[in-house]
Amino acid sequence: MINKNKIFKLKKDRRSFLKLTTTSMATIGSAFAVWPFIDSMNPSADVLALGIKEFDLSNIEEGFSKTFKWRGKPIFIKHRTKQEINEARKVNLSKLKDPQKDEDRVIKPEWLIVVGVCSHLGCIPLGQKKSDTRGDFNGWFCPCHGSHYDTSGRVRKGPAPKNLKVPKYKFINENKIKIG
Amino acid sequence: MAKKFKNKTLAWLDYRLPIFSVLREALVDHPTPRNLNYWWNFGSLAGIILVIMIVSGLLLSMHYVAHVDLAFDSVEHIMRDVNYGWLIRYIHSVGASMFFLIVYIHISRGLYYGSYKSPREVLWWLGIIIFLLMIAAAFLGYTLPWGQMSFWGATVITNLFSAIPLVGDSIVTWLWGGFSVDNPTLNRFYSLHFLIPFIIVGVVFLHIVALHKFGSNNPTGIDLTLKQEKIPFHPYYTIKDFFGFGVFFIIFGIFIFFLPNSLGHPVNYIPADPLVTPEHIVPEWYFLPFYAILRAIPFKLLGVLAMLGSILILFVLPWLDTCKVRSCRFRPIYKQFYWIFIFNFIVLGWVGSKVPEGHYLIISRICTAYYFVHFLIILPVLGMFEKTLPVPLNIFKNPRVKKKYK
Ligand code: HEM
Ligand code: FES
């Protein structure tokens, strides 16, 4: 009797063990098999290649901005005046929603380069043209739900939670930058 | 059937929407003959490859562009730029071949064990409908990469319809949406290629409903009446089907990773050129036997009809085969004709890949004739004269199984 029970238990354990290992192998295998399908929806090599672009700054005069397209999004390049730089640097950081020093947002103080997409829900803020409203802080104003950005592209008022993003870029010479 | 589920939420939901009990009936409890051999694995294999085709196709469709100027390049874009695009495309193109291989074996299994006989005629019909839809899906899909073989294959096959008397030419123009295979053709082919697999899913569902009405046939071909002759689908056949998947994935993988283009034609890596026909136009291997029948007959309309007839004749097979005994195991003479038929079909496939001249043409004609003779003469006559072996009353009386279950 005891012997029989033992055999039964052994058989049962063996079966549960096999069940467990089979199921886990199948799950791991399926996860590996599914990955290529998911990854195929990520940006492809040619899209990534478009992610690096050079821009010429030489014809943007002081006090003016220009918009370029990069990865399908607008890049704001602003040639800031002394006054605008001062305004941006004067601010008490504790007053900011998303505290960040202006010094950390630029490479050269006169050139502010940000991705022109409102951090609220993705509209493009106004302020690139001289005739645009620039909001209460003399930077940009998002018409969608009323977010105000300052001359450093930091959010100061309105529903947007974050500052305008600074893309990765570097100066290749005096008047040329490479983004991406 | 409406069994209680232990889980309260499940029981509540199932009481109102009984899909869970239906699924459990079909995939867990379903009483299945205990003597099925590995030839019964090919139904579930066809199911899994259908799913794989739909998933891989869906992801291809996210990158593919159905336009004559862009289609070829978009396929190259898939191959070079899209993450794992090469893998997904090879899964899809090798998968089409595997799908046909599996379904051919599945059909041959039915022929050998007499699965088409009463009361499974409708089940058999639904299978043939699936086969026809697969042919359409594969043909339409093959035009999409817009290589030379795509273009000329599409041209040749659509031109088959011009064999129809009187209205043939108008039908071809209608199919094309123009005066040659061109952008409108490519667009509608893409649309239909996308649609048909989902129709196949629907027909597969009916196929399974019909299957579960009388249950699977089995190697003895007899009706199973004893309780002990059946076992629950789960875990016995789920695990066996999964084992089959494993073996299949190894073979599938060998082709995808090491021989991805061995089943196709290199000419299709040349962009379509409407002004130059390649030297040999040959369909994919899985169409070759039917292509051979088409070319064996020197009259256009008759050739087309013979090709169609060679598939449609399967619809009346349950009545052409007059023998009451299902399985080949008990039909010693039919068994030999069965293998001759299979051999003949393979030879048809082989001549289908050759230029139809000289002795190839003669072989293709003999094989075509034999194909029809098998169905129209041999089968009806055999049913009348063949002396079948004694059929056991249940599977335990089958001499081969007896030893194990005594
Ligand atoms: C019954 C299932 C299916 C079969 C037999 C089938 C067959 C084929 C074949 C033979 C090709 C040409 C492969 C090549 O030479 O590259 C192809 C291409 C294609 N199929 Fe399918 N297919 C199926 C399902 C689907 C589904 C469900 C979709 C979309 C949801 C789809 C989308 C595509 C696309 C976009 C292409 C062109 C890309 C390429 O050529 O690789 N297919 N199909
Ligand atoms: S999107 Fe800019 S404020 Fe809402």
Q: What does the mean pLDDT of chain B come to?
A: 94
Give the CATH number for residue A128. Answer: 2.102.10.10
Are A130 and A100 members of one domain? yes
Are A37 and A86 members of one domain? no
- Best CA proximity match to B151, nearest among B72, B248, B237, B97: B72
B239 Cα to chain A: minimum distance (Å): 10
The answer, for A32 touching chain B at a CB cutoff of 8 Å, is no
Phi-psi region of B177 (alpha: psi -120 to 50; beta: other; left: phi over 0): left
Are B313 and B273 members of one domain? no
Per-residue pLDDT tens digits for A123-153: 999 999 988 999 999 999 999 999 999 999 9
Torsion of CA B289, B291, B293, B299, to 10 degrees: 180
**What pLDDT does B289 receive?**
97
**What pLDDT does B2 receive?**
46
CA distances (Å), origin A83, targets A87, A109, B167: 6, 11, 81
Are B236 and B332 members of one domain? no
As a whole-number percent, the residues of chain B with pLDDT over 90 amount to 91
Residue B285 per-residue DSSP state: G
Q: In what order do the strands lie in the sheet with A169-173?
A: A53-56, A176-179, A169-173
In the reported structure, the alpha carbon of residue B143 is separated from the centroid of ligand 1 by a whole-number distance in angstroms of 9
Are A133 and A164 members of one domain? yes
- Best CA proximity match to B384, nearest among B328, B331, B327, B315: B331
- C-alpha B350/C-alpha B345 separation (Å) is 9
Per-residue pLDDT tens digits for B119-132: 999 999 999 999 99
Tell me which residue has tokens 């694995």.
B41
Are A71 and A120 members of one domain? yes
Please enumerate in sequence order all residues whose Cβ is within 8 A of that of B12, keeping only pairs 6 or more positions apart, or say none. Answer: none
Are B241 and B304 members of one domain? no
B237, with CB counted inside 10 A (0-12, 13-18, 19+), is buried
Phi-psi region of A146 (alpha: psi -120 to 50; beta: other; left: phi over 0): left
Q: Is the C-beta atom of A126 inside 6 A of ligand 2?
A: no
Two structure tokens written together for B12 = 């509540």
- Best CA proximity match to B287, nearest among B269, B263, B266, B271: B263
Report yes or no on B62 lying in a domain.
Answer: yes
In the reported structure, the alpha carbon of residue A8 is separated from the centroid of ligand 1 by a whole-number distance in angstroms of 51
Per-residue pLDDT tens digits for B207-226: 999 999 999 999 999 999 88
In the reported structure, the alpha carbon of residue A32 is separated from the centroid of ligand 1 by a whole-number distance in angstroms of 23
Domain enclosing residue A11, as ranges = 1-42
Q: With helix as H, strand as E and coil as C, how does B316-338 read? A: HHHHHCCCCCCCHHHCHHHHHHH
**Number of structural domains in chain B:** 2
Looking from the CA of B209 toward its CB, the CA atoms found within 13 Å total 9
User: Would you name the residues of B annotated as active-site residues?
Assistant: 212, 216, 240-241, 284
- C-alpha B13/C-alpha B20 separation (Å) is 9
Are B271 and B323 members of one domain? no
Report yes or no on B254 lying in a domain.
Answer: yes
Are A22 and A56 members of one domain? no
The answer, for A37 touching chain B at a CB cutoff of 8 Å, is yes
Q: Which ligand 1 atom sits closest to the C-alpha of B200?
A: 1
Per-residue pLDDT tens digits for B159-196: 999 999 999 999 999 999 999 999 999 999 999 999 99
Interface test with B, best of A20, A34, A40, A50 (most B CBs within 10 A): A40
Are B117 and B200 members of one domain? yes
Domain enclosing residue B310, as ranges = 290-389
Query: Does the pLDDT at position A164 exceed 70?
Result: yes
Are B203 and B299 members of one domain? no
The answer, for A26 touching chain B at a CB cutoff of 8 Å, is yes
Residue B215 per-residue DSSP state: -
Are B109 and B234 members of one domain? yes
- C-alpha B341/C-alpha B310 separation (Å) is 13
- C-alpha B150/C-alpha B140 separation (Å) is 9
Are B296 and B382 members of one domain? yes
Q: With helix as H, strand as E and coil as C, how does chain A read? A: CHHHHHHHHHHHHHHHHHHHHHHHHHHHHHHHHHHHHHHCCCCCHHHHHCCCEEEECCCCCCCCEEEEEECCEEEEEEECCHHHHHHHHHCCHHHCCCCCCHHHCCCCCCEEEEECCCCCCCCCCECCCCCCCCCCCEEEEECCCCEEEECCCCEEECCCCCCCCCCCEEEEECCEEEEC
In the reported structure, the alpha carbon of residue A41 is separated from the centroid of ligand 2 by a whole-number distance in angstroms of 28
Average pLDDT on B131-140 reads 98
Which residues are bridge partners to A150 per DSSP? A138
On whether the CB atoms of residues A105 and A91 are closer than 8 A, the answer is no
The confidence band for B150, taking pLDDT boundaries of 50, 70 and 90, is very high
Query: Given the DSSP bridges, would you call strands A169-173 and A138-142 parallel, antiparallel or unpaired?
Result: unpaired
The answer, for A42 touching chain B at a CB cutoff of 8 Å, is yes
Per-residue pLDDT tens digits for A81-139: 999 999 999 998 988 999 999 999 999 999 999 999 999 999 999 999 988 999 999 99
Interface contact B88-A45, CB threshold 8 A: no
In the reported structure, the alpha carbon of residue A117 is separated from the centroid of ligand 2 by a whole-number distance in angstroms of 9
For A48-57, A153-162, B66-75, which range has the lowest pLDDT when averaged over its residues? Answer: A48-57
ipTM: 0.83
Per-residue pLDDT tens digits for B239-293: 999 999 999 999 999 999 999 999 999 999 999 999 999 988 899 999 999 999 9
Are A104 and A34 members of one domain? no
CA distances (Å), origin B125, targets A112, A173, B82, B116, B156: 71, 74, 41, 8, 28
Report yes or no on B14 lying in a domain.
Answer: no
**Protein residues with CB under 6 Å of any ligand 1 atom:** B 53-54, 57-58, 60-61, 64, 75, 89, 92-93, 96, 99, 134, 137-138, 141-142, 144-145, 193-194, 197, 200, 264
The confidence band for B396, taking pLDDT boundaries of 50, 70 and 90, is confident
The confidence band for B3, taking pLDDT boundaries of 50, 70 and 90, is low
Are A106 and A54 members of one domain? yes
- C-alpha B224/C-alpha B209 separation (Å) is 19
Are B51 and B75 members of one domain? yes
Report yes or no on B20 lying in a domain.
Answer: no
Maximum pairwise Cα distance, chain B: 73
Two structure tokens written together for B71 = 């289609």
- Closest by Cβ to B81, choosing from A26, A36, A46: A46
Report yes or no on B140 lying in a domain.
Answer: yes
Two structure tokens written together for A116 = 């022109």
Residues of chain B found within 8 Å of residue A45, distances taken between Cβ atoms: 80-83
Are B85 and B201 members of one domain? yes
Ligand nearest to the CA of A160: 2
Q: Whose CA is nearest to atom 1 of ligand 2?
A: A121
Tell me which residue has tokens 């001062």.
A86
Calculate Rg over the CA atoms of chain B. Answer: 23
Are B207 and B90 members of one domain? yes
A172 Cα to chain B: minimum distance (Å): 28
The confidence band for B406, taking pLDDT boundaries of 50, 70 and 90, is very low
- C-alpha B189/C-alpha A145 separation (Å) is 46
A38 Cα to chain B: minimum distance (Å): 9
Give the CATH number for residue B76. Answer: 1.20.810.10
Are A38 and A61 members of one domain? no
Report yes or no on B377 lying in a domain.
Answer: yes
Residues of chain B found within 8 Å of residue A36, distances taken between Cβ atoms: 83-84, 87-88
**Number of structural domains in chain A:** 2
Two structure tokens written together for A122 = 């993705």
Q: Whose CA is nearest to atom 28 of ligand 1?
A: B57
On whether the CB atoms of residues A97 and A77 are closer than 8 A, the answer is no
CA distances (Å), origin B26, targets B32, B115, B205, B245, B406: 10, 20, 11, 19, 30
**Is this prediction's pTM over 0.90?**
no
**What pLDDT does B280 receive?**
86
The confidence band for B1, taking pLDDT boundaries of 50, 70 and 90, is very low
Residue B230 per-residue DSSP state: E
Query: Does the pLDDT at position B400 exceed 60?
Result: no
